[in-house]
Structure 1
Amino acid sequence: MYTGLQHAHSGLAYLALIGLVIVIFWALVGSLSGREFQERDRKIAMITFIICHIQLLLGLILYFVSPLGLALLTGGGAMSDAAARLTALEHPLSNIVAIAIISIGYIRAKKIEASRAKFRSIYMLYAVGFVLIISRIPWSAWLG
């Protein structure tokens, strides 16, 4: 089960990151071109919104099932080791904040009337979430 969760979390990460890049550029182009925000635009943002939330859910489950996640915090010494701190604290917390910011961007865009403001809400807040996610990916574990 643990290995399957690890693979699902890593695989879905690619989809989430690609989705975020696509939505950010899609909304940026929509805002700069001055076109009307349509149902298609909302659905594109929603699909990435859902993928990011599923990714967060898998990550949280993995955190509590993993021998590394919570055990590093309770065992002590995690704050003095950069890799352990990233795994036990920085990665989970920054991703929770990132998904919250992405959620604010999507929910806020649904409530705004002006098309340009809808696009702006999506591309700005999705981009902030994207940067947070990218900054705390454990690259050595993910690529190696």
Structure 2
Amino acid sequence: MYTGIQHLHSFLSYLVLLGLLISFVAALAGWFGNKNFGDKDRKLGLLGLIPTHLQWVIGVILYFVSPKGIEWATEGFMKVSEQRLFVLEHPLTMIIAVVLITVGYARAKRQIGAGNKGFKSIAIFYGIGLILILSRIPWNAWLGN
């Protein structure tokens, strides 16, 4: 079970990054192109939101079934960089990123027909979320090194 969830979590990471990147670039184009934010643009924002939430749910499950998750939270884990990454830094940073992406989408969907404010909300919040996600991906484990 653990291996299957781990592979799903790794595979879904590609979809999360792709969805966030598409939503972010589309939002930047709409914001700087001074376009009107519409329902079609709101739905495009879902490309970043839905895989991110799904990834978060799978990550929470993985945190509790993985030997590198909650089991590593023993005395002195903060002194070991790999343990600190998997137990604290990665989960906490991803939670913050998911919250920011959710706030960005929630703010944007209320801006339909109000100029380019929806694009601005998605661009800023998804952009910060994307940076946070990229900063705490466990690259060595993800790339198989």
Q: TM-score range by the shorter chain?
A: over 0.9
Q: Structure 1 residue 115: deviation in Å?
A: 2.7
Does residue 1:81 correspond to 2:80, yes or no?
yes
Aligned length: 143
1 CA distance for matches of 2:57 and 2:26?
26
- Normalising by structure 2, we get a TM-score of 0.95
State the one-letter code of the partner of 1:87.
F
Any idea what the Cα deviations from partners look like across 1:101-130, whole Å, max 9, x if unmatched? Answer: 000000011123523111000011000000
What corresponds to 1:107 in structure 2? 106
Check the 8 A contact 1:31/1:115 in 2, yes or no. Answer: no
- Which letter maps to 1:105? G
Q: Deviations over 1:58-101 (max 9, x none)?
A: 0000000111100111x222100011100110000000000000
Secondary structure class of the residue paired with 2:77? coil
1:126-137 equivalent positions in 2, closer than 5 A = 126-137=126-137
**Structure 1 segments unaligned to the other structure (5+ residues):** none
Instruction: Please state whether the residue corresponding to 2:86 is helix, strand or coil.
Output: helix
Provide the secondary structure at the position in 1 that maps to 2:93.
helix
- 1:115 counterpart SS class: coil
Structure-2 separation of matches of 1:17 and 1:115:
27
- Aligned Cα RMSD in Å? 1.0
Q: Is the partner of 2:16 in helix, strand or coil?
A: helix
1:104 and 1:21 map into 2 onto residues whose CA distance is 17
Aligned position for 2:67: 67
* Moved beyond 3 Å, runs of 4+: none
State the identity %: 48
Gaps of 5+ in 2: none
In the alignment, which residue of structure 1 is the partner of 2:117? Answer: 117
TM-score by length of 1: 0.95
More helix per residue:
1
Q: Deviations over 1:20-64 (max 9, x none)?
A: 111111000011112221222111111320110000000000000
